[in-house]
Amino acid sequence: MPLLDNKTCIITGGAGSLGLAAAKLFLDEGANVALIDLSMQALEQAAKDLPKDRVELIAADVSRATDAALYVGRTVGRFGPLDVLFSNAGNFGRVAPIHDYPEDVFDRVLEVHVKGAFLAAKHAVPQMNDGGSIIITSSVAGMRGDAGVYAYITAKHAQVGLMRCLAKELASRRIRVNTIHPGPIDNAFQLHVEKGLGEAIGGDGTEFFNARIPLGRHGTPEEIARSVLYLASDQSSFVTGTTLMVDGGMSV
């Protein structure tokens, strides 16, 4: 029996690398999937090979309450009550010393990761079946500090607090809530981070990270998607309130 047979799933950041990898795996396991992202054009491009009868594309900004109400409502209207919310949309912001860190960048990064995950849960939970699963994409950056990465690291830590509150509140409905913490992934999002880092340290940003990962390499989007599937499905039926590191040992 497929792991997500006929389940209704929302994936935010669905046009991006990790969101799309999770969508493919969820669909392989029998789910109906709503992909949420900022641009319809990006969503259509990402979803061009996905089965249209089981995929809904919704352009929305996760940091806006009206958009959260809209994407939850449309998903439930098409596929029925929710079973899985994968709250995954993200932006990186900037690296700068504290006295120079732009306030507007700080605000926007927190809006997307923290307010976005809060609003997703606020609107999704009343429409979710008992026994559902919420997964929030934090990061290895949600477990450690690094100079200059003020907005992103603060946001990724805050998501853990949100997850823990939700896990306690929703346990009585058997809704499980967890964060997943990817290490550096071989994709455009991370490459952008590493280019900036490389310029700052005058070296190779990718090698800088590999030297700090015990398994000695970046992860793949598919490796993260498999861990998301574990948390989304009944395979993890006794797992809630946890911070699942999928980082090649980087946080050890």
Ligand X SMILES: NC(=O)c1ccc[n+]([C@@H]2O[C@H](COP(=O)([O-])OP(=O)(O)OC[C@H]3O[C@@H](n4cnc5c(N)ncnc54)[C@H](O)[C@@H]3O)[C@@H](O)[C@H]2O)c1
What is the number of alpha carbons within 13 Å of residue 167 lying toward its C-beta?
18
Of the listed pieces 1-9, 34-42, 78-86, 99-107, which binds ligand X according to CB under 6 A?
34-42
Rule CB under 6 A: is residue 38 a binding residue for ligand X? yes
Residue placing its CB nearer to ligand X in the complex, 76 or 180: 180
Rule CB under 6 A: is residue 189 a binding residue for ligand X? yes
Residue placing its CB nearer to ligand X in the complex, 11 or 31: 11
Where helices occur in 47-149 by DSSP H, the ranges are: 65-79, 103-110, 116-124
Residue placing its CB nearer to ligand X in the complex, 80 or 208: 208
Count of residues that bind ligand X according to CB under 6 A: 27
Take residue 140 and report the two structure tokens written for it. Answer: 């290895």
Residue placing its CB nearer to ligand X in the complex, 173 or 180: 180
Of the listed pieces 72-80, 95-103, 184-192, 234-242, which binds ligand X according to CB under 6 A?
184-192
* CB-CB contact of 211 with 106 (8 Å): no
Active-site residue, selected from the candidate residues 71, 150, 152, 230: 152
Rule CB under 6 A: is residue 194 a binding residue for ligand X? no
Of the listed pieces 27-35, 82-90, 94-102, 170-178, which binds ligand X according to CB under 6 A?
82-90
Residue placing its CB nearer to ligand X in the complex, 12 or 240: 12
* CB-CB contact of 79 with 34 (8 Å): yes
Interaxial angle between packed helices 221-232 and 17-28, expressed in degrees from 0 to 180 and rounded to the nearest 10 = 50
Provide the sign of the torsion angle of the four alpha carbons 64, 155, 31, 84, taken in this order. Answer: negative
Rule CB under 6 A: is residue 15 a binding residue for ligand X? yes
> In this chain, which of 7, 8, 17, 244 binds ligand X, going by CB under 6 A?
17
By three-state DSSP, how is residue 134 classified?
Answer: strand
By three-state DSSP, how is residue 167 classified?
Answer: helix
Is residue 150 annotated as a catalytic residue, yes or no? no
Please state the closest distance from residue 15 (CB atom) to ligand X, in A. 4
* CB-CB contact of 236 with 176 (8 Å): yes
By three-state DSSP, how is residue 23 classified?
Answer: helix
Rounded to 5°, the CA angle 112-100-155 comes to 25
Rule CB under 6 A: is residue 76 a binding residue for ligand X? no
Nearest to 118 by CA among 76, 70, 168, 155: 155
Please state the closest distance from residue 185 (CB atom) to ligand X, in A. 3
Consecutive H or E run containing 131 = strand 128-137
Instruction: List contacts with ligand X (CB under 6 A).
Output: 12-13, 15-19, 36-38, 61-63, 88-91, 112, 116, 137, 139, 182, 184-185, 187, 189-190
